[in-house]
Structure 1
């Protein structure tokens, strides 16, 4: 997911994207625990996407307060 795409979204869209990423992360963690996950790199990518979305949400929230 590109940062530029995220910056164009509204806060409610970013929040729904974050929820979706957290659900995906949970599913991947369960697959890893049951040894069904073949590509463990997916977890790292999802974790980075979650951090990216949280950062943009924080930036938008702080810009909104000014």
Structure 2
């Protein structure tokens, strides 16, 4: 799961870069990626608390 989080953070970085340079067409993807990262972090935290 940590690997997925890393991949999504990388994608978010690239999307922000595209947004800043005016190349981003699908701005909704930013929101999707942010929410996905939050879901992953939530799941990781729940696992941590259940131990």
Q: TM-score, normalised by structure 2?
A: 0.97
Structure 1 runs (4+) greater than 6 angstroms displaced: none
Larger Rg belongs to: 1
Provide the alpha-carbon RMSD of the alignment: 0.4
Unaligned runs of 5+ in 1: 1-13
Count matched residues: 51
Q: TM-score, normalised by structure 1?
A: 0.75
Unaligned runs of 5+ in 2: none
